[in-house]
Amino acid sequence: MRCIWLALIPLLAIVTACTNATMPAADAVASAPAGQVLVASSRPADGGTVAGPVSSLELHFSRPARLGEVTVTSADGTVMPMMVTAVGEVRDYTLPLSDLGPGRYAVDWKATAQGIEYRGTVRFAVR
């Protein structure tokens, strides 16, 4: 019995070393430092009021970015997640909306640019 246990000790050491090793995540993304802005402009403009209905949202980034998530929330709390399929990092996105009528809206977005994650909100009203 003693010989078997001695033979297993190096194997246990190898298994322990492998399971304790930390591997960096393949999708590791850093968050943008506070105060860094990625959206250069939007249409409707952030804080603006436009005549309705609104059938699209344009986001213009200050540098090429991959848009990952977009959610539109109305004043009454209705949340409308949007499907985004980005083909790479680009500066300009036009997203179709379902003819937003009168009210206030918040568009929350998440994008990555050169491995840095950015988040923001564009708020506008439709009259």
Q: Decide if pLDDT at 38 tops 80.
A: yes
- Name the range with the highest mean pLDDT among 8-12, 26-30, 112-116: 112-116
State which residues form the domain around 117: 26-126
Number of domains in the chain: 1
Tens digit of pLDDT for each residue in 5-17?
334 333 333 333 3
What pLDDT score was predicted for residue 35? 52
105 located within any domain: yes
| 19 part of a folded domain | no
Single pTM value for the model: 0.72
- Residue 4 domain-assigned? no
What are residue 41's DSSP bridge partners?
60
User: Which tokens belong to 123?
Assistant: 């708020």
Q: Are strands 54-74 and 90-100 parallel, antiparallel or unpaired?
A: antiparallel
Going by DSSP bridges, is the β-strand pair 39-43/30-31 parallel, antiparallel, or unpaired?
Answer: unpaired
Residue 45 maps to a domain: yes
